[in-house]
């Protein structure tokens, strides 16, 4: 389902067509899981302020989506 959403974004000119939609879906899921895991174990350990999990995931997704956005 995520790959289909990325394909739609490509059709609409929002997502870079050079990116593989399946890989984008895989990376988005990985970003979610890894960010959640790091938040749970406090991986940043004081190197940045502790945020709510939702805010941390939202920030990670913003970085991810900015990287695959069509220019």
Q: Which domain holds residue 55?
A: 2-68
Q: What's this model's pTM, rounded to 2 decimal places?
A: 0.84
As a whole number of angstroms, the distance between CA 32 and CA 29 comes to 5
Q: Any alpha helices (H) in the chain, and if so which ranges?
A: 2-11, 21-40, 53-68
Residue 16 tokens, joined? 């870079």
Whole-angstrom Cα distance, residue 39 to residue 50? 8
Counting the structural domains of the chain, the total is 1
Q: What is the pLDDT of residues 17-65, one digit of tens each?
A: 999 999 999 999 999 999 999 999 999 887 877 889 999 999 999 999 9
**pLDDT at residue 49, rounded to an integer:** 79
- What integer is the mean pLDDT of 7-20? 97
Q: Which residues pair with 69 in a beta bridge?
A: 15
**pLDDT for the residue 10:** 97
């Amino acid at each position: 389902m995520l790959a289909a959403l990325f394909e739609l974004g490509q059709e609409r000119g929002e997502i870079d067509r050079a990116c593989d939609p399946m890989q984008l879906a895989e990376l988005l899921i990985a970003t979610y899981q890894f960010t959640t895991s790091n938040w749970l174990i406090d991986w940043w350990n004081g190197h940045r302020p502790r945020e709510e999990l939702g805010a941390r995931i939202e920030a990670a997704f913003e970085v991810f989506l900015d990287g695959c956005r069509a220019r």
